Amino acid sequence: MELSQAIIDNVGVLIVSGQIDAYSAPEVEKALNPLIDAHQGKVVVDFTAVDYVSSAGLRIMLAGLKRARSLKDAADQAGDLCVVGLQPQVKEVFDIAGFTPLFKIYDAAAAAANSFG
């Protein structure tokens, strides 16, 4: 698994590639939490190159979503955590776990970043 970060219009983007499983989920969490805090909860997680996510990965995503939504920016707007580029097999895991309605899901990081206004 590899992680990288970007910023689009003051929105933090965490780009993940590979698999998010019990071994790699803590690494994702260590990268995600400071990004959420630094961008006042406005974060996009790019799953375009993720081909597998386990329950440990889902747990990290849910915790990140709660953390992001608990933060507010200077305009008192709550944060959110958007997801980009779910591959069919990963989207199926999100669907089965009931996560699809919880997250705003986009095809591109730029569109997700623009959703923050």
Q: Give the fold, CATH level 3, of 2-114.
A: Transcription Regulator spoIIAA (3.30.750)
What confidence score (pLDDT) does residue 66 get?
Answer: 97
CA–CA separation, 113 and 6 (whole Å)? 11
Who contacts 41 (Cβ-Cβ below 8 Å, separation ≥6)? 67, 68, 69, 70, 71, 72, 73, 78, 79, 80, 81
User: 46-84 pLDDT, tens per residue?
Assistant: 999 999 999 999 999 999 999 999 998 777 888 999 999
Report pTM.
0.95
Mean pLDDT over the full length of the chain = 95
